[in-house]
Amino acid sequence: MKINWFKYASPTAFYPLAGRLVPVLFGASLVLILFSLYWGFFETPDRLGGTNPQKEYYRIIFIHVPSAWMSMWLYLVLAAWAAIGLVFNTRLSFMMANAVAPTGAIFTFIALWTGAFWGRPSWGTYWDWDPRLTSELILFFLYIGYIALHSAIDDVRRADRASALLAIVGLVMLPVIFWSINCPDPNQCAALHQRSSLSDIESNILTAMLTMTLAFWIYSFAAAFARLRSIILTREGDSTWVRGVLEREASA
């Protein structure tokens, strides 16, 4: 049977679909998080080798690295939905961008926070103003700026457009972050932060890290869809179908 996916571009159609997906996605992400934590703590070596061997504290990478990846990925998703909303003037696209932003900000904060705890034993300091750390901090401010700008404008349609423009302009930070982490010449981007190198990671460590990344990715869908349902109810509160939903939920 052919499915008309375009019908889900309507908040009316997407709201019940999101409601069915949210518990499944939350459950799947929880299972994967528990598996990743078990594998990371019990199936990986006690010491991270290399030119600068590190002890047990290296296990923070199972949270830090997936969070950093998700911070960049979710900003790309946020900007993509914002651009779709601007081009096609679709309400659900703006709502989706608005729903993704808080989760992206949380993952960016977690990346910065866990990075600070990594930095203290590794580098002797919680923070250093090098390109890699600073660009991630700027990304966090972009998330906060998007949320603050949208909240500061009373007219929802104007808020959608203004914050969408900010999100699109902020895309310039993603290649900057990628370059700072993968810079081939250390003289161009001298930093304490290690370079990205998945090929040199022990297989069990890589398994735990990639599983946690998948868990965070699924969790991001669940959190965004749950938040999107709340946004839809708020914005569509005067419509007949929303009043019907609220009445059914109140009587249940």
Domain chopping of the chain, boundaries? 21-242
E strand or H helix at 132, and its extent?
helix 131-152
What would the pLDDT profile of 75-98 be if each residue is shown by its tens digit? Answer: 999 999 999 999 999 899 999 999
Q: Is 48 helix (H, G, I), strand (E, B) or coil?
A: strand
Q: Residue 200 pLDDT > 70, yes or no?
A: no
Q: Which two tokens stand for residue 6?
A: 């375009």
Q: What percent of the chain stands above pLDDT 70?
A: 81
Do the Cβ atoms of 225 and 25 come closer than 8 Å? yes
* Amino acid at site 101: A
What is the distance of C-alpha 214 from the center of its chain?
12
Average pLDDT over residues 48-54: 55
Q: What pLDDT is attached to residue 197?
A: 59
Q: What pLDDT is attached to residue 177?
A: 80
Q: How far apart are CA 45 and CA 118, in angstroms?
A: 17
What would the pLDDT profile of 160-180 be if each residue is shown by its tens digit? Answer: 999 999 999 999 988 888 777
Q: What pLDDT is attached to residue 129?
A: 78
**Stated pTM of the model:** 0.88
Q: Which two tokens stand for residue 41?
A: 């703590």
163 backbone φψ class: left, alpha, beta (φ>0; ψ -120 to 50)? alpha
Q: Residue 107 pLDDT > 80, yes or no?
A: yes
What would the pLDDT profile of 34-45 be if each residue is shown by its tens digit? Answer: 999 999 888 887
Q: What pLDDT is attached to residue 167?
A: 97
Q: How far apart are CA 5 and CA 22, in angstroms?
A: 18
